[in-house]
Structure 1
Amino acid sequence: MTESSRRSPAEWMVPAGLLVLSVIPILGGAMRVSELSTGAVITEENARFFHSPVPVLVHIVGSTVYLVLGALQFAPALRRRRWHRISGRIVLPMGLASALSALWMTVFYVIPPPAGPALAVMRLVVGVAMTAALITAFLAIRRGDVGTHRAWMIRAYAIGMGAGTQVLTVAPYAIITGRAPDTGMHAVLMGAGWAINLVIAEIAIRRGASRPRPAAANPPVGASAVRPIR
């Protein structure tokens, strides 16, 4: 068995984990679309979506595509193929659609408790940060700076995946305490989801930067073509 074939299953652990983490927010988005399309009963919690459905639909579609294709961008087998570049041309605009629609909803929707002013500020900050990260990544790859592009796309994906991690920060609190968090604690737990993702992203970026790059397949002119005797 070759080294590449032994490594193949491990290469899919990260994208598989990200896909699993994105299942709950994707299912939540699908349920919201179903609710809007079937004319569910309007309540205080969902009234804003019925009164202005376009932003949330843009957010759901953009986020779903971004989370799924973005997770697959972490698979080395796909990064070594043309698929990575083609998919990236979809991932980036979908990420912008997700971030900008989130900003719009934060500013213009009336969001009921437990969301409060602190969470609204955090959503504005991370929405602007995700937008800036995607634009920075795009400008970097346009000038051929792959390292900078990679770093900022990882940061943007970490922010976008916040909804997945926030399930793991909010749900345990409700289970342990037997009650939903109040406005302040809700903001803390939601912020913790983004913070955890960004810490992991920075670790991944630094590990990737310190990892030696594979040698070029074709050596430059004048380079030695002598191979070691095996």
Structure 2
Amino acid sequence: MATSSASRRQWWVAAGLVLLSLVPVLAGAVRVAELAGDPAVTAANARFVASPGPLVAHIVSATLYSLLGAFQFVPHIRRRRPGWHRAAGRVLVPAGLVAALSGLWMTLVYARPPADDVLLTPIRLFFGVAMAGCIVLGVLAILRRDVLAHRAWMARGYAIGLGAGTQVLTHLPWVLLGGEPGGTGRVVAMLAGWVINLAVVEWALRRRAAAPPRAPRAPRAPAAARA
């Protein structure tokens, strides 16, 4: 019964991560559909219309990274389908790097949106570099067979990548009051999304490290003996 309950919790975690990804994923799909047509150029989309490639690469890679990556947090899959876990990882690593690097490129090259405070530029650069760095450190860890470090670095990279989902929630108080945050309020809302995600990951990593090791499962008796 306890094993069944733990398994259900694992799938609920994956489902929650998918749900957290849905708003930015859907918003990205709308943006790509808009660019695929003949959009009217406005102050909000002029930089994307002039150079859509980096944005499309960012949206596609971030969508794949956030949705597929959610299932890497299901231990049942890692134990029962290690081949699937490794194959998914080979997709997620380049997807995550493209998402991080395209985000850095857009921050450096695209004109800063009017609603963004100048402080958001270094903050975005910091988290973009941190996300790419976490993914690279995760790959290096698994190459030297350090599974625990691999999981920790990959979880941190995913937390940063999923920041857009949490930022929807951190912007919610302003939206409920009938507006969008600007200036310092937007900086706080954006920064909070990344900080909250990383805080949750660090809490989960320390909780797992403090948990007692699982007792090995007793081997099953041969069929003849059971008969």
**Normalized against structure 1, the TM-score is what?**
0.89
Which runs of no fewer than 5 residues in structure 1 stay unpaired? 220-230
Distance 1:109 1:174 in 2: 26
Number of aligned residue pairs: 217
The gaps in structure 2 that reach 5 residues or longer are: 220-227
SS in 1 for 2:212: coil
Q: Are 2:158 and 1:185 equivalent residues in the alignment?
A: no
| Structure 2: distance between partners of 1:207 and 1:62 | 30
Query: Which residue of structure 1 lines up, in the alignment, with residue 32 of structure 2?
Result: 33
CA contact (8 A) 1:147 1:209 kept: no
**Residue 218 of structure 1, CA deviation:** 9.4
Distance 2:100 2:108 in 1: 13
Equivalent in the alignment of 1:15: 14
Match of 1:222 in 2: none
Residue number in structure 2 paired with 1:152: 153
Secondary structure at 1:125 match in 2: helix
Q: Residue 98 of structure 1: CA displacement?
A: 0.4
Equivalent residue for 1:113?
114
Partners in 1 of 2:181 and 2:10 — Cα distance? 38
Partners of 2:6 and 2:175 in 1: how far apart? Answer: 39
On the 8 A contact 1:15/1:74 being kept in 2, the answer is: yes
C-alpha displacement at 1:132, in angstroms?
0.6
TM-superposition CA deviations, 1:157-208 (whole Å, max 9, x none): 11001000000011222313x3321222111111011111111010011112
Per the alignment, do residues 75 and 127 of structure 1 end up closer, same or farther by CA in structure 2, a change over 3 Å counting? same
In the alignment, the residues of structure 2 paired with residue 155 and residue 43 of structure 1 have an alpha-carbon distance, to the nearest angstrom, of: 36
1:215 to 1:142, Cα distance in 2 relative to 1, 3 A: farther
Aligned residues of 1:59 and 1:98 also touching (Cα < 8 A): yes
> How far 1:127 sits from its partner (Å)?
0.3
Distance across 1 between alignment mates of 2:15 and 2:120 = 30
> What letter is aligned with 1:206?
R
Deviation at 1:4, TM superposition (A): 3.2
Once residues 143 and 213 of structure 1 are traced to their aligned partners in structure 2, the CA distance between those partners, rounded to angstroms, is 22
Task: Write the letter of the residue equivalent to 1:116.
Answer: D
The CA distance in 2 between the partners of 1:42 and 1:74, in whole Å, is 41
Could you tell me which amino acid in structure 2 is paired with residue 187 of structure 1?
V
1:137-148 equivalence runs, <5 A: 137-148=138-149
Q: For 1:8 and 1:204, how far apart are their aligned partners in 2?
A: 17
More displaced stretch, 80-89 vs 122-131: 80-89
Equivalent-residue separation in structure 1 for 2:208 and 2:69 (angstroms): 17
Q: Which residue of 2 aligns with 1:83?
A: 84
SS for the counterpart of 1:48 is: helix
Structure 2 counterpart of 1:48 = 47
Tell me which stretches of 4 or more aligned residues in structure 1 moved more than 6 Å.
Answer: none
Percent identity of paired positions between Structure 1 and Structure 2: 49
**Stretch moving more, 75-84 or 128-137:** 75-84
Counterparts of 1:93-104 in structure 2 under 5 Å? Answer: 93-104=94-105
Structure 1 position 111, deviation (Å): 2.5
Matched-pair contact (CA < 8 Å) for 2:77–2:85: yes
Residues 117 and 182 in structure 2, CA contact (< 8 A), matched pair in contact too: no
Shift of 1:216: 5.5
Whole-angstrom distance in 1 between the partners of 2:64 and 2:165: 14
SS of equivalent to 1:12:
helix
Counterpart amino acid of residue 71 in structure 1: A
State the Cα distance separating 1:126 from its structure 2 match. Answer: 0.2
Deviation, structure 1 residue 217 = 6.5
| Alpha-carbon RMSD | 1.6
